[in-house]
């Protein structure tokens, strides 16, 4: 098995976190999973927000969820282009239909109404 951790990384007991997740440890629910950080604290806020947007694409999140998470990403320094790159980046994993379904939701979150564009293109 290949080890991914590099020598220069700070010491974090990620194995304990993985074990807790694997056994559905109730103490894990007390971690700051839904808040602004993660239990290990290794992801910066911008990266965490982009990862959460990718997760919303994967699970078919609702428009308000995309809006809230996009706001968090922008507040953390993400550009609209970086946020859209998340959609492109997850196509090989989640599939094009899932990304196509998420695109209008993310567009609305960024203040861009794709329905107006689609209507104009169709002549309606």
The string of pLDDT tens digits covering residues 34-70 is: 554 455 568 899 999 999 999 999 999 999 999 999 9
Write down the residue that tokens 């959460």 correspond to.
52
CA distance 118 to 113: 9
pTM here? 0.72
Span 18-32, average pLDDT: 71
Write the DSSP string, the chain: ------TTSPP--HHHHHHHHHTT-GGGGGSSTTTTS-TT--S-HHHHHHHHHHHHHHHT--HHHHHHHHHHHHHTT--HHHHHHHHHHHHHHH-HHHHHHHHHHHHHHTT--HHHHHHHHHT-
- Two tokens, residue 36: 């602004």
User: Which pLDDT score is estimated for 18?
Assistant: 79
The pLDDT of residue 24 is 78
């Amino acid at each position: 098995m290949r080890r991914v951790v590099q020598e220069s990384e700070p010491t974090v007991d990620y194995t304990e976190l993985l074990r807790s997740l694997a056994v559905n440890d109730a103490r894990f629910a007390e971690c700051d999973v839904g808040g602004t950080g993660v239990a290990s604290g290794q992801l910066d806020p911008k990266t965490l927000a982009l990862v959460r947007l990718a997760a919303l694409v994967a699970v078919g999140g609702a428009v308000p969820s995309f809006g809230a998470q996009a706001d968090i990403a922008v507040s953390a320094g993400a550009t609209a282009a970086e946020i859209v790159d998340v959609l492109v980046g997850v196509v090989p994993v989640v599939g094009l239909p899932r990304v196509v379904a998420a695109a209008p939701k993310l567009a609305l979150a960024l203040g861009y109404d794709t329905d107006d564009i689609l209507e104009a293109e169709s002549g309606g």
